[in-house]
Structure 1
Amino acid sequence: MKIGILGGSGKMGQWFGRFLTENGHQVWLWGRNPSKLAPIATRLGVQAATRPDMLGDMDCLIISVPIDTFEDTLRELAPFTKPDQLVFDLCSVKERPVELMHQYLPHCRTLGTHPVFGPGAESLKGYNFILTPTTAPETDLAQGVKTWLEKQGGNVRLISPEEHDRLMSVVLGLAHFIAIVSADTLLGQNLPGISSAGGTTFRLLDTLTKSVLTEDPGLYASLQVNMPKLPKLEADFIKRATEWAELVKNGDKAEFARRMQTLKDNLARTEPGFEKAYQAMYHLNQPR
């Protein structure tokens, strides 16, 4: 299959370029900066599409661009697409991108997709992949994609764009928000050598904050502001954090313990065996 990747110089575009080439597909990378794209294509052993009209010859197109430029990319791409051409997006949000693909590419076979992992993954094995079909034809397409991805070791789930965005508000949005605010708080303490004094729980928090801060600030800012359900979720988090902080401030050990026990009881009902997480945390943070 001939596959064109738009945004091919980005980290995920490069990841899919390598992955698809290794799986026997012919890959072309396209980007707005040909001089930047050429050495990447050479390194990956793929072709560089020097003109957007070349994308019309592809069997499949993968759009791997930031959400902020997604509509402009579709507008530029649309005149060169052909009927029934496969088009997938890799955005971390789904409602708006799927809506835009339907608007600009009604003649194509489009499908919202989200690889829920970063470019550090060596393969699909063990990683989550979400597909968001909205029509019967898209569902048929998604089932075929699901079968292929599962053969590569991926864990694939089909849900609506709306459900996807609700989940990502927690999985990505809230998790990133907590990590960034934690990093801001820790760095504000001005405690040199704090990492060497921390135990297992702190090492886990330290790893989380540092891993998030290695990422592109522009990308993370875009994710935060483009998740419409996230502000309400973060407001709820801040409200609950304030309530817990008040218990600490007031020295209310009994109420703190009561609330924590309630959380434990509720979690035990929904996730039996969750206590294994304590040992899992030690496994993740074994000293090197």
Structure 2
Amino acid sequence: MVNALSGAPRTSVLFVTDLAYQARGRRYCDEDVFLTSRLREAFDVALCHPKDAAALLDGFDAVVVRNSGPVLYYPEAYAAFRNRAREVGARVYNSLDGGGDMAGKQYLVDLTRAGCPVIPTVDRVADLGLLPGAAEYVVKPKLGADSAGLRFVREAELAGAFADGGDGEGALLVQPRIGFRYEVSFYFVDQDFQYALYAPDPERRWVLEPYTASGADLDFARRFVAWNSLSRGIQRVDACRTAGGGLLLVELEDLNPYLSLDLLPTGVRDAFVARMITAVRELTA
């Protein structure tokens, strides 16, 4: 389509989302309906399901991957999309080089070994002794999402958890179940901080409120954004505030982080949208 004022062709964007995916405490469809309505002010936008993305991406200037659901539910289609995007040199946002959740949760093990402020995480029986003592431990798949396959076990059950999981060592993660005061998330676009939200009640993860990040908070979050290999895209750094007052990384979401845009003040939401439009324009420049 041509811009009626300038006569220049408008950038076309394939927006990948699963509007029907049911997520606990989140409305993927509402967020992406809103976001695409705003992106249409700057681009020609078409929506598609993640299973259709590989077949359609050739016809667009850019591909934006948003609330497309956990890829563990369509691994073959996701692999086909990544392979096709690389084959044709597609401009994908987020870029496909992220080292956080985009590549699974091995990064939690790697960051633990590096001594970073992260919930201690191991993936081998031989390393269980590296974990601090706890009343219970969390066992979950390394390629999991949305708490799929997550369970709690006691220390005596830890070694057997790998065998019980069926996939053996390397496929499961073990963490101590720690007490914390609240969870907080920091949202970035292309390494630029946008806003923060937190869940005051640890039992209600997605009941969020605006959070005023301190300088120390932002230093913490930026450390992981800088560590990540993601060239371009939206990242959400999830952390928990421990009883001692420090922050520990819970998750580095760099594939399709839910943004909770409906909870933001209008000015903050508008600024985020404007920054994202700029990012997509830069991607296709």
Both structures adopt the same fold (TM-score exceeding 0.5) = no
Greater strand proportion: 2
The higher relative CO (CA closer than 8 Å, separation ≥ 6) is in: 2
Higher Cα radius of gyration: 1
TM-score of the aligned structures, taking structure 2 as reference length: 0.31
| TM-score normalised by L of structure 1 | 0.30
Give 1 or 2: higher helix fraction.
1
